[in-house]
Amino acid sequence: MSVDLVEVHGDLFHPIWLRDNCLCLECRHAWTFWKTVDISRFSERSSIIKEVDLNQESLVVLWDEEPGHRSVFPLEWLSAHAYGRQQISPRLVHDHALWDAATWTDTSPPSHALADCASDGGTWAEDLARNGFVFLDGAAEDSVENFASRIGPLQPTEFGRSIAVQATPEANHPVKSGNELTPHTDFSTYLNVAPLLQFMLFIKNDAVGGDSILVDGFMVAEHFRKDHPDHFERLTMTPINFQQVYPDWEYFLARRRSIIEVDRSGNIEGVFFHHSHTCNWDLPPEEVGAFYEAYFLFFDYLRNPDFQLRRHTPAGRCIALQNGRILHGRAPYDPSSGGRTLIDSYVPWEYFEARLRYRQFNGFYPAAGKKYSGSGLGARVI
Ligand SMILES: [Zn+2]
């Protein structure tokens, strides 16, 4: 039977795609769900259907092969994999709730007791996915690294597994002072690392000033696009050279990327910004003026208090945030007025996304629900 396309409740599928994606355990490894059959090696590459049956739960296809082969596709699985709809997308499947300062005037920012997170059914993680950040309270000094490493392997830093940030008289880094820090993202501007889930644990904070500042970069970028479409376009198109020099380790890190990254449909995928690291732009001289106009205007948006959540962060609170969507900064403070110490740790954001995606779609996979094989990550917290 020659079938060009199989229609299932309005979605169209090519026979060759269906054959290539057969879900049976002859064609898949049960645990990893790897394809174990390579149809490009079949003598006849255009898969031919002998019979199709669409019932309430599934699409059943009998293939014209020797020996015969039968594929069963649950309708839910087909729907999730329909061409063009990308339900299982490389990007996070949760809807973003974009926010600005006004969002938090009557509503408290999402916060959870760290001790409850492992058993809260993933509520804390959904809050983080939706808002780009979450406060985790009651965190002891060593608890966050442990918590983070149960999501994925920690991202190593040049400072070690984590970075202690506190003002010291001999500090050789502007972060380790009482200076204001304008909203920025960490690492990903000057280093080719994956987008990060960042944990900022405050183990001490009784200094005067130094409020934490969070900015939803996606919200700012959406406003910026609406108000200044030409400037927005320019920032998505212009590669910027970011630099970081570290005499301690004799590193001169340099990376090129755009401040605002959009996918092929125009959705904002990332905002990466750190004014202190921006260096130069690959532009003809006559475009530099227009670029600066866009760049400084976007910086103004990020510094606009209307877009900022500003809070004193008490000791024992950890701010978990999506570095690449949420920018962070701090108001200036007086180091002589008290101590302010925080510890930064990072996990690649993709492991966090992968856990949420697994929770949503594990029903499709035959091995789901079987005993965890263990991998050194420890008991899961989502
Ligand atoms: Zn099969």
Tell me: the pLDDT tens digits for 282-294? 889 999 999 999 9
Annotate 224-260 with DSSP letters as a single string: HHHH-HHHHHHHHH--EEEEEEETTTTEEEEEEE-SE
CA of 35 to the centre of ligand 1 (A): 9
Residue 264, pLDDT score: 85
Top-level class of domain 103-359: alpha beta
Residue 32, pLDDT score: 84
Query: pLDDT averaged over the chain?
Result: 91
CA of 62 to the centre of ligand 1 (A): 10
Dump pLDDT digits (tens) for 174-218.
777 889 999 999 998 999 999 999 999 999 999 999 999 999 999
CA of 136 to the centre of ligand 1 (A): 46
Rounded distance, CA 128 to CA 111, Å?
A: 10
Residue 374, pLDDT score: 53
For residue 366, is pLDDT > 70?
no
Annotate 331-364 with DSSP letters as a single string: --EEGGG--EEEEEEEEEHHHHHHHHHHHHHGGG
Residue 84, pLDDT score: 78
In this prediction, residue 280 has a pLDDT band, given cuts at 50, 70 and 90, of confident
User: In this structure, are residues 178 and 333 in contact, taking their beta carbons and an 8 Å threshold?
Assistant: yes
Residue 275, pLDDT score: 95
In this prediction, residue 125 has a pLDDT band, given cuts at 50, 70 and 90, of very high
Exposure string over 295-305, b if 16+ CB within 10 A, otherwise e: beebbebbbee
CA of 358 to the centre of ligand 1 (A): 23
CA of 353 to the centre of ligand 1 (A): 29
CA of 21 to the centre of ligand 1 (A): 8
State residue 52 phi and psi, 5-degree precision: -125, 135
CA of 11 to the centre of ligand 1 (A): 21
CA of 119 to the centre of ligand 1 (A): 38
Q: Give the pLDDT mean for 103-110.
A: 97
The CA-atom distances, in angstroms, between 157 and each of 196, 210, 247, 301 are: 12, 24, 16, 30
Query: What percentage of the chain has pLDDT greater than the value 70?
Result: 95
Lowest mean per-residue pLDDT among 234-238, 343-347, 357-361: 357-361
- Dihedral angle computed from the Cα positions of residues 148, 154, 159 and 165, in that order, rounded to the nearest 10 degrees: -20
**Residues of each domain in the chain carrying CATH 3.60.130.10:** 103-359
Rounded distance, CA 188 to CA 348, Å?
A: 11
CA of 24 to the centre of ligand 1 (A): 4
In this prediction, residue 360 has a pLDDT band, given cuts at 50, 70 and 90, of confident
Q: Can you read off the two tokens belonging to residue 355?
A: 């856990």
For residue 371, is pLDDT > 60?
no
User: In this structure, are residues 253 and 244 in contact, taking their beta carbons and an 8 Å threshold?
Assistant: yes
**163 vs 167, which has greater pLDDT?**
163
CA of 27 to the centre of ligand 1 (A): 4
Query: What percentage of the chain has pLDDT greater than the value 90?
Result: 73
Q: Give the pLDDT mean for 149-171.
A: 88
Dump pLDDT digits (tens) for 60-85.
999 999 899 999 999 999 998 998 77
C-alpha Rg value of the chain to the nearest Å: 25
CA of 80 to the centre of ligand 1 (A): 19
**Residues of each domain in the chain carrying CATH 3.30.2020.30:** 6-87
Rounded distance, CA 273 to CA 182, Å?
A: 10
Top-level class of domain 6-87: alpha beta
For residue 378, is pLDDT > 80?
no
Dump pLDDT digits (tens) for 38-51.
998 887 777 889 99
In this prediction, residue 95 has a pLDDT band, given cuts at 50, 70 and 90, of confident
User: In this structure, are residues 303 and 217 in contact, taking their beta carbons and an 8 Å threshold?
Assistant: no
